[in-house]
Every structure is written in structure tokens, then in C-alpha cells.
Chain A
Amino acid sequence: MRWKMESQRKQYGKALVELGKERGDIVVLDADLSSSTRTADFAAAFPERFFNCGIAEQNMMDTAAGFAASGKTAFVSTFAVFGTGRCYDQIRQSIAYPKLNIKIVASHAGITVGGDGASHQIIEDIALMRVLPNMTVIVPVDSPETYRAVKTIAKTLGPCYVRIGRADVPTITDENAKFDINQAPVMRDGKDVTLIGCGIMVSKCLEAADELSKHGVDARVINLHTIKPMDEKTIVRAARETGCVVTAEEHSVMMGMGSAVAMVLVENFHVPMKRVGIPDVFGESGACDELMEKYGLTVDNIVEAAHDVLKRKK
């Protein structure tokens, strides 16, 4: 592996502590997972602005809503499986609908949760969050981008969902990169096919692009860190210029990032497309690599999908 592996959660903790120092309006809530999500770092620095709600995620979301309605900026954290589906109605009614200033930063998303198994491997959180009006949905690509995303959303009004993982992830962006919610960075230029990834799949797209270049295929790679609002301009331009698209996400192919891209392309610029992602099934216990392999999230899967769309392109 050519990249350094680093923790997104650690950067989240660091960003939170800085925000706590910079701003008195920041409060943080967690649901008995603060040592895992790293909100414990904030709790240690600002105990009077940290609220552990216990194993009561629904209660936590509405409590956050009350804070936000009283002028606070609330960061809310737990595992992604408990911070989305379990309290969906609370998020819908009390956060998204009233458009409150709440940032749900959820860790342990996706199949790379590993050994805990299907009960903990949420592969539908992007779907759940992106269909909510007013909700911004961000999947930071690596650990420095997690830091930048958290600092950025703290300044952005309104509800936001940030999805991070359990495992360390390859660092593919540099410290000085900018984070703009409205701008999907092109990580590698190319003219034959576009590979759009989010989260840990972006590094796999870069590896796939290297592989493809051995076959004379010049692939463009986009880091679609913000699923909503989507940078449609960059996506449509890529489709127009390369003529075919592959998406890759550590999420169910049902209504995830790939589906969101497909909708944009179908209505704007129709090209051959393929979605790499987890099929419509629950996961299982296993090692991350084995799971990525079994559920179709490898570099080979992306390369194969690229060859497929290239074939279909006129």
C-alpha cells in the first residue's frame, strides 16, 4: 500500500477540541460510545459542554434539537447504525424538518466494521440521510479530510450528516487541500472513463486507474465527498468528456452515492454507467479485506466495471 493508514475518528476528536476552544456555542452529545467516536476528547477538554445521553439515541437527537433551537451548534455522535436508522423519525421531525444546526458525525459505518457483523454494519445510511430535505451528506475520504470537513460544517448552517469509519483509512489528500462542500475534487485527470468514489473507495479508484493505465485506459478519478448537495457540474462534465462512468461506494448499491449519480446522469447526460457497491444483502462477520472481497469492493471490481462501461461506450 502506497498510502499512510490513519484514523478518521482521531481527527474528528481533534477538530472538535479545536472548535470547543474557538467557539462557546459548540455542544457535543454522545450515546455511550464516546470512547469509540472520540467525542471523549471533547468531553475531557470541555466537560460542561459534553452530554452523554446513555444508550438512548432517539432521546439524544431530540435533546440536540432543543440545544440547536436555543442557539447552540450541536455535534452528535454514535455509531452510524445507531445514529441514523434507529432515530430516523427524530432526525426527520426535529432536525431536518426544522432545519436545525445539528451535525451528526457517525463512525463505524459500512462493512469495514468487520467482526461485529451485519447488525452493526450499516450499508444504507447514505440512502436514509440523503432523502431528507435540508440534510447535507458528507463522506470524508480520509483522515485529514475528516478534519477539514468537520471544521467546515461547523461554520455552515443547517443539518448535516458526516459518515466516517472504524478502521484506519489511506491518507490520499494532503494537509493543505481545501474542503468545499460544493466542489468534488478531481483526484486524477483522464479522458476515457470516469471513476467516482466516496470514502475508502476513492483510494481503490486511484489504484484501479493505475491498473487501467497499464491497458492504455486513461481514467479520471473524482472524490465525491459530498453526496448532497451534489456537485452536478463536475459529474456531468466528466460524463461528457469521458463518455462512461463507474461509481464505487462502501454502501448498498440501493439508493447510495451511485444511485444519486445515476439520477443526475439520466436527467442530464446519459452515458454507460456501472455501480460498484454492496449488493442488496446484509453483511456478516469477517476481516475487512475478506468482506471487501466477498461483497464486491475491490480494485478488480472497479477495473472490471470500467472495462464493461468502456465496451458499452460507442
Chain B
Amino acid sequence: MEVYDGEFIAELETIARHIRLNSIKMIYKAGSGHPGGSLSCADILAALYFHIMKHDPKRPDWLDRDRFVLSKGHAAPALYAVLAEAGYFPIDELSSLRKMGSRLQGHPCMNKTPGVEMSTGSLGHGLAAGNGMALAAKLDRKLYRIYVLLGDGEMDVGETWEAAMLASHYKLDNVTAYIDRNKLQLDGPTEKIMSLEPLADKWKAFGWHVIEINGHNIQEIIHATNEAKGVKGRPTVVICHTIKGKGVSYMEGSLHFHGKAPNDQEYAQALKELGGAP
């Protein structure tokens, strides 16, 4: 197993903190949005866009780029934050989130935002769309890989499992799915709304290679992805154990901040905790 030096990991952790900070700023300025699920996936996005994925912000339509699909589209702020951080568009533009005429729609729109590979927002579509990209890659004998991020609430969706079946049927070893296992959906804890466990066994039964990690540990995210690259003949799913609202104390594990912007006081507190200026 590769060992990454502390400085390199610290850099990615800084990126993740920027994603969190900018997500909160955007949502506060927009007055609406989904902080909880944006914060829980920040580390995964940082690792993907700043180490794992082969991509070029100057050429968002580069044919050989790796593709990322945000199936849980309501975490759009985190996606926009990482895309801006990577240079797809200016950081300043982030403050236009959800505003009239903005390229940054409330949920990702592939026709408006450079770097967004698929329009999402209605849950449960992303894995199937990622499969289509993976099949196209195989058809064109391309080596690029497909990364899909799903919410654990999306495990409720029938289509997620239809796609899971298709991916293993077509031996899509170029697909890696990450599940943001923050254990909360909109109405409550996943196990109370619709029990998912034993989740890893379900994916195994569907023919996937399954890895479970701490989704806030950059090192583990990278190792799991490297492992996935080595798996031949079947897709890999990385169950990332995370905390909804991670990084802002009062948002952590909170249902309230699934889809609600912080008020002035909460905003000031969040900035302080994330080490940022307004």
C-alpha cells in the first residue's frame, strides 16, 4: 500500500476545508440549499478532483478525461466549490448560486456549468448515467474512468439497484461508486426511514467489489480508489462512513441542516469553525 506524505495529505485536507467553507458561504448567500450533504462529501470530492481524477479544467470537454457524476445532486454547492477550486470557473462566481441567470443552478446542470458531467437533482439517476458513460468508454476503447457519488438515501431508489445489476452484468470495472454513508436522509435516520443494512452484503450480492472506509480520511479514500482500479471484471463500491454536516459543530449529525441555510449567527459561527472570512 502506498504511503502518502503528511504534507500531501494536509494539502488535500485544506482543499476539503475550502470546499466546506465555500459551500456554507454559497448557501448562506443564496438563502437556501443543502449544507448537511455538501459537508459530508467534501473530503471525497477533494481527493477525486485534486488527486484521483485525470482531468483538465482548461478543457472540460477533453475526450479522455475521467468523469464524475454527482448522483446526490443537492450537494451541488460542494461540487461547484471543488470545480472552482480546480479552476473550471472563478471562485467569485460561487456567490451567484441559485440566483437568476447564474451558471450555478440549485441542482447541477451540465449545459450551464463547465465541469458538470450530468444534470442531476432528482435522486437515483446518477449511477445509471455513469454506467452509460462507462459502456461508451468500453465501446470506444477509452481508458477513462467513471466516478459516481451517491447519497445513502439513494439506496431507497429502485433504479440504484437496477443500475447496480447492470454494472456488474456488463463487468464495468471502470466504474467506481462512492456512497456518502452519513446515515441521515431528509425525514430522519436511514435505518428508521428505510433500513439499508446490511448494505455491504447487498452490494456484494449484486456482484460488486465492496470496500468500507472512513469517508473523512483522505488517505483511505485514495487507497480504496487505487484498490478499485486494480479490480478487473466488476465494478467497485466504496461505502464511505461519514458525518452529515461534518466540520460545523452544530450541523454535525443534524437533520435540521439537511436543506436549510444558516442564519446570520449560525453563519458567523460556521465561518469561525471553518477558519474563513466572510
Provided the pairs A115-B30, A118-B109, A119-B73 are in contact, do residues A291 and B100 lie with their beta carbons within 8 angstroms? yes
Q: Which residues of B, 81-116, contact A by the 8 Å Cβ criterion?
A: 97-102, 104-107, 109
Please give the distance in Å from A55's CB to the nearest CB on chain B.
4
Q: In the bound complex, how far is the Cα of B123 from the Cα of A243, in angstroms?
A: 47
A286-B194 in contact (CB<8A): no
A56-B157 in contact (CB<8A): yes
Closest chain A residue to B31 by CB distance?
A: A115
Please give the distance in Å from A56's CB to the nearest CB on chain B.
5
Q: Please, which residues of chain B bring their CB within 8 A of the CB of A114?
A: 32, 98
A119-B187 in contact (CB<8A): no
Could you show 27 A-B contacts with beta carbons less than 8 Å apart?
A32-B153, A33-B186, A34-B187, A52-B193, A53-B156, A54-B193, A82-B122, A86-B122, A115-B31, A115-B32, A115-B33, A115-B98, A116-B106, A116-B121, A117-B98, A117-B109, A117-B121, A119-B73, A119-B119, A119-B120, A120-B107, A120-B121, A285-B99, A286-B101, A287-B99, A287-B100, A294-B100
B157-A286 in contact (CB<8A): no
Among A36, A55, A86, A286, point to the contact of B156 (Cβ < 8 A): A55
Closest chain A residue to B185 by CB distance?
A: A32
Answer yes or no: B43 CB below 8 A from chain A CBs: no
Q: In the bound complex, how far is the Cα of B73 from the Cα of A16, in angstroms?
A: 31
**Binary contact readout A24-46 vs B (1 if CB under 8 angstroms, 0 otherwise):** 00000010111110001000000
Please give the distance in Å from A287's CB to the nearest CB on chain B.
7
A119-B122 in contact (CB<8A): yes
Q: Please, which residues of chain A bring their CB within 8 A of the CB of B98?
A: 114-117, 285-286
Answer yes or no: A241 CB below 8 A from chain B CBs: no
A285-B187 in contact (CB<8A): no
Our count of residue pairs bridging A and B at CB distance below 8 angstroms stands at 96
Q: In the bound complex, how far is the Cα of B100 from the Cα of A294, in angstroms?
A: 10
Answer yes or no: A6 CB below 8 A from chain B CBs: no
Answer yes or no: A168 CB below 8 A from chain B CBs: no
Q: Please, which residues of chain A bring their CB within 8 A of the CB of B154?
A: 55
Q: In the bound complex, how far is the Cα of B156 from the Cα of A58, in angstroms?
A: 11
Please give the distance in Å from A258's CB to the nearest CB on chain B.
25
A59-B106 in contact (CB<8A): no
Please give the distance in Å from A52's CB to the nearest CB on chain B.
5
Interface size class of A (residues with CB under 8 A): 20 to 34
Q: In the bound complex, how far is the Cα of B109 from the Cα of A115, in angstroms?
A: 13
Number of interface residues of B (CB under 8 A): 32
Answer yes or no: A290 CB below 8 A from chain B CBs: yes
Q: Please, which residues of chain A bring their CB within 8 A of the CB of B73?
A: 119
Answer yes or no: A17 CB below 8 A from chain B CBs: no
B122-A284 in contact (CB<8A): no
Q: Which residues of B, 55-84, contact A by the 8 Å Cβ criterion?
A: 73
Closest chain B residue to A289 by CB distance?
A: B100
Q: Please, which residues of chain B bring their CB within 8 A of the CB of A54?
A: 153, 156, 185, 193-194
- List the 8 shortest-distance A-B pairs measured between CB atoms, nearest first: A119-B121, A54-B194, A54-B156, A286-B100, A117-B106, A115-B98, A117-B105, A55-B156
A55-B123 in contact (CB<8A): yes
Q: Please, which residues of chain A bring their CB within 8 A of the CB of B275?
A: none
Closest chain B residue to A113 by CB distance?
A: B106
Answer yes or no: B158 CB below 8 A from chain A CBs: yes
Please give the distance in Å from B76's CB to the nearest CB on chain A.
9
A118-B105 in contact (CB<8A): yes
Q: Most chain-B Cβ atoms within 10 A of its Cβ — which of A33, A34, A117?
A: A117
A32-B109 in contact (CB<8A): no
A116-B107 in contact (CB<8A): yes
Q: Please, which residues of chain B bring their CB within 8 A of the CB of A117?
A: 98, 105-107, 109, 121
Provided the pairs A55-B153, A117-B106, A284-B105 are in contact, do residues A32 and B99 lie with their beta carbons within 8 angstroms? no
Q: Which residues of A, 261-314, contact B by the 8 Å Cβ criterion?
A: 284-287, 290-291, 294
Please give the distance in Å from A129's CB to the nearest CB on chain B.
18
B106-A32 in contact (CB<8A): no
Q: Please, which residues of chain B bring their CB within 8 A of the CB of A30?
A: 187
Please give the distance in Å from A109's CB to the nearest CB on chain B.
15
Please give the distance in Å from B3's CB to the nearest CB on chain A.
39
Answer yes or no: B215 CB below 8 A from chain A CBs: no
Closest chain B residue to A85 by CB distance?
A: B122
Please give the distance in Å from B171's CB to the nearest CB on chain A.
28
A58-B187 in contact (CB<8A): no
B194-A52 in contact (CB<8A): yes
Q: Please, which residues of chain B bring their CB within 8 A of the CB of A56?
A: 156-158, 194
Answer yes or no: A81 CB below 8 A from chain B CBs: yes
Answer yes or no: B124 CB below 8 A from chain A CBs: yes
Q: In the bound complex, how far is the Cα of B187 from the Cα of A174, in angstroms?
A: 33
Please give the distance in Å from A257's CB to the nearest CB on chain B.
24
**Binary contact readout A100-133 vs B (1 if CB under 8 angstroms, 0 otherwise):** 0000000000000011111110000000000000
Q: Which residues of B, 206-265, contact A by the 8 Å Cβ criterion?
A: none
A33-B100 in contact (CB<8A): no
Q: Please, which residues of chain A bring their CB within 8 A of the CB of B104?
A: 285
Closest chain A residue to B74 by CB distance?
A: A116
